Amino acid sequence: MARTFFVGGNFKLNGTKQSIKEIVERLNQASLPKDCEVVLCPPAPYLDYAAGLVSKSQVSVGAQNAYQKAAGAFTGENSVDQIKDCGAKWVILGHSERRTIFGEDDKTVADKTKFALDQGLGVILCIGETLEEKKAGVTLKVVERQLDAVIAQVKDWTNVVVAYEPVWAIGTGLAATPEDAQEIHASIREYLAKKLGSDVAEKTRILYGGSANGSNASTFKDKKDVDGFLVGGASLKPEFVDIVNSRN
């Protein structure tokens, strides 16, 4: 079956009203493929602003994080209801920076994923191994463990997009080859089929998220299990449009 191409832009802790306006307007003015879904994820203070600028039907806005409680005394956290109130439709959860810098474990990521889905947000679920884990040859064990935590809580994966992000390829300039990515993505899909059934596995989009850019994105287009990208630094640059159009 044909899965809709998906490109997420994770701005991380970057951006101002001016730069975000430029990014969104560039997409608004560009010729984009109709069979593509684009999700822009600016810092939380700019969610409402970015959502108000978007004019293309295939472009929406997502948050970079959300808490697993609706409201309360949780200073500094992002509420799912507030994210939705700002016009966002997605949230990135389990990003390696959340796991490694902020100490989120697999259960925390799973709790957040279930809560966000239950409240009506789509989830870009990030999984991936560190350089040490890659060198130790345990990549699949790591991503299966990360998936297992979510599988234990989430039965309906309709609104989940999986982003395979090798931690060693984020912000380092290193990137898995298209062949490497295809091999891991195929293994992830096979594991989802084993745990959730072949229908769910075939419908679930699996993105590659390790230093994808305007130069290398098109080299992934014939890889049948690479359904798009979660883009970091390149999402802040004009080349982001090239990544969105990389299947053309």
Supply φ then ψ for residue 52, to 5 degrees. -70, -20
Task: Write down the catalytic residue from 104, 144, 165, 185.
Answer: 165
Task: Write down the catalytic residue from 37, 95, 104, 129.
Answer: 95
Cβ atoms of residues 61 and 39 within 8 Å: yes
Q: What is the rounded distance in angstroms from the CA atom of residue 23 to the CA atom of residue 40?
A: 9
Q: What is the rounded distance in angstroms from the CA atom of residue 65 to the CA atom of residue 13?
A: 12
Residue 81, CB-side half-sphere exposure with 13 Å CA sphere: 4
Catalytic residue flag (residue 165):
yes
Catalytic residue flag (residue 183):
no
Name the region of 12 (left: φ>0; alpha: ψ -120 to 50; beta: rest). Answer: left
Supply φ then ψ for residue 125, to 5 degrees. -90, 115
Q: What is the rounded distance in angstroms from the CA atom of residue 44 to the CA atom of residue 16?
A: 11
Active site residues: 95, 165
